[in-house]
C-alpha cells in the first residue's frame, strides 16, 4: 500500500508542481455543479494515475480536478467508485489516501440517498451526523500500516461537529431545508425491499445509500476531519413505497444541486 501510494503521489506532484490542496472533495450525486465554481488549474484523468482504480460506470470520465474554490485550494474527485461495481474496499478508498498524502486537511463528501425518516422529504438535504455501516467489509481489514493510522481507529465522532453546525447555520441563512441525521450504508446495487426500509428505520437510520462510509472510515483512520451531506432523492417509506425510478432520482438530485453547491462552497470558504 505505502509503495503504491508513493508512486501515485510522486506522479501527481510532478503534474501539479507546487500546487498544495487544502481541501478534498468527493463529488457524488448532487454536487457535480461545484466543478463550475472551481477555477481549474490541473485536471488529471484517473486512468493516467499509477494504481488508481478506473470507474466501470464512467470509463475515461473519472478525473482529479485541482483548482481554487472561493480562495481555497481544493482537489475534487469527479467520478466516485462504489463497492457494487466490484472493487475491493481498499481500491475504493485508495484515492482518499492519495489526497491525504497530497496534504488535504479536510474531506467533503456528497451523495444521493433514500429518506427513511417520515419528516425528511424528497428533495431535502441531510447533513450526516453519524452512520451505520451495513456494507460487508471494512476498508481497514488486513494488515495495518501504522504510518497511515492506528489498528483500532476511534469512530466516536466520525463527522466533524463544528462543520455540521456551520453547515446547518449556512442552510438556515439561505432558507434551505437541511436536516441532520444518520446515514446507513448498504452494498446495493439493488434497492431495498419494503421490509428492509422498515428495518433500516427501526435500527436508527434517517437515510440509506450505497457509498460514502468506506471513504469516511479511511479518512478517520488517517485523522482527517470529514463533512458529508446527502441529497434525499426518494422516500423509502414502507407504507407507501413507489417503484424506484432512476430518471426521477437524477431529476431530484439536479434540482437540489444548487442548494448543495451553495452550502459546500460557503462552508469551504469559511475554513
Ligand atoms: N436506497 C439506497 N440507495 C439509494 C437510495 C435508496 O433508496 N436512493 C438513492 N440511493
* 227 closest CA partner among 131, 132, 129: 129
Residue 55: is its pLDDT beyond 80?
no
Section 237-243 average pLDDT = 90
Structural domains in the chain (count): 1
Q: What is the mean pLDDT of residues 145-165?
A: 96
CB 268 within 8 A of CB 74: yes
CA of 242 from ligand 1 middle (Å) equals: 12
Q: Is the CB of 30 under 6 A from ligand 1?
A: no
As a whole number, mean pLDDT of residues 51-67 equals 76
The answer to whether residues 39 and 92 touch, using CB atoms and an 8 Å cutoff, is no
pLDDT digits (tens, 9 = 90+) for 166-200: 999 999 999 999 999 999 999 999 999 999 999 99
Average pLDDT rounded to a whole number, residues 121-148: 95
Distances (CA, A) of 233 to 30, 116, 248: 9, 11, 8
**Rounded to an integer, what distance in angstroms lies between the CA atom of residue 127 and that of residue 223?**
20
pLDDT at res. 218 = 98
Distance, CA 136 to ligand 1 centroid (Å)?
17
Pocket test for ligand 1, best of 114, 186, 254 (most atoms within 8 A of CB): 114
Q: What is the mean pLDDT of residues 238-247?
A: 89
Q: What is the CATH number of the domain that holds 261?
A: 3.40.50.1580
Tell me, using a 6 A CB cutoff, whether residue 235 lines ligand 1. Answer: no
Q: What percentage of the chain's residues is helix, strand, coil (to nearest 5)?
A: 35, 25, 40
Q: Average per-residue pLDDT in the chain?
A: 93
CA 205 to chain CA mean position, Å: 17
Question: Across-strand partners of 40?
Answer: 67
Q: Give the count of beta carbons closer than 10 Å to the beta carbon of residue 181.
A: 22
Mean pLDDT of 126-134: 98
pLDDT at 60 over 70: no
pLDDT band at 81 (very low <50, low <70, confident <90, very high): confident
Q: Reply yes or no on whether the pLDDT at 30 is more than 70.
A: no
pLDDT at residue 135 tops 90: yes
On whether the pTM is more than 0.85, the answer is yes
Q: Taking residues 36-42, what's their average pLDDT?
A: 94
Q: Which domain holds residue 183?
A: 2-270
Query: Looking at residue 62, what is its pLDDT?
Result: 86
Looking at ligand 1, which residue's alpha carbon is closest to its atom 6?
A: 114
Ligand 1 atom having least distance to the Cα of 244: 7
Amino acid at each position: 500500500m505505502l509503495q503504491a501510494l508513493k508512486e501515485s503521489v510522486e506522479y501527481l506532484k510532478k503534474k501539479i508542481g507546487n500546487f498544495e490542496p487544502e481541501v478534498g472533495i468527493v463529488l457524488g450525486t448532487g454536487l457535480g455543479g461545484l466543478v463550475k465554481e472551481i477555477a481549474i488549474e490541473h485536471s488529471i484523468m484517473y486512468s493516467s494515475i499509477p494504481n488508481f482504480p478506473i470507474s466501470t460506470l464512467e470509463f475515461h470520465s473519472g478525473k482529479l480536478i485541482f483548482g481554487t474554490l472561493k480562495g481555497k485550494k481544493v482537489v475534487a474527485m469527479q467520478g466516485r467508485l462504489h463497492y457494487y461495481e466490484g472493487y475491493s474496499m481498499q481500491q475504493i478508498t485508495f484515492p482518499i489516501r492519495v489526497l491525504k498524502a497530497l496534504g488535504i486537511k479536510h474531506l467533503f463528501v456528497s451523495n444521493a440517498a433514500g429518506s427513511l425518516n417520515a419528516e425528511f422529504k424528497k428533495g431535502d438535504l441531510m447533513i450526516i451526523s453519524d452512520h451505520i455501516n451495513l456494507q460487508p467489509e471494512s476498508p481497514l481489514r488486513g494488515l495495518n500500516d501504522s504510518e497511515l493510522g492506528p489498528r483500532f481507529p476511534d469512530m466516536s465522532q466520525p463527522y466533524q461537529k463544528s462543520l455540521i453546525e456551520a453547515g446547518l447555520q449556512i442552510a438556515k441563512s439561505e432558507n434551505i431545508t437541511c436536516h441532520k441525521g444518520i446515514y446507513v450504508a448498504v452494498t446495493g446495487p439493488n434497492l431495498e425491499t419494503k421490509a428492509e426500509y422498515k428495518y433500516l428505520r427501526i435500527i436508527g437510520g434517517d437515510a440509506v445509500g450505497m457509498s460514502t462510509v468506506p471513504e469516511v472510515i479511511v479518512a478517520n483512520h488517517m485523522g482527517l476531519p470529514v463533512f458529508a451531506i446527502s441529497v434525499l432523492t426518494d422516500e423509502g417509506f414502507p407504507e407507501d413505497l413507489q417503484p424506484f425510478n432512476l430518471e426521477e432520482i437524477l431529476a431530484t438530485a439536479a434540482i437540489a444541486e444548487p442548494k448543495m453547491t451553495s452550502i459546500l462552497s460557503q462552508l469551504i470558504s469559511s475554513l
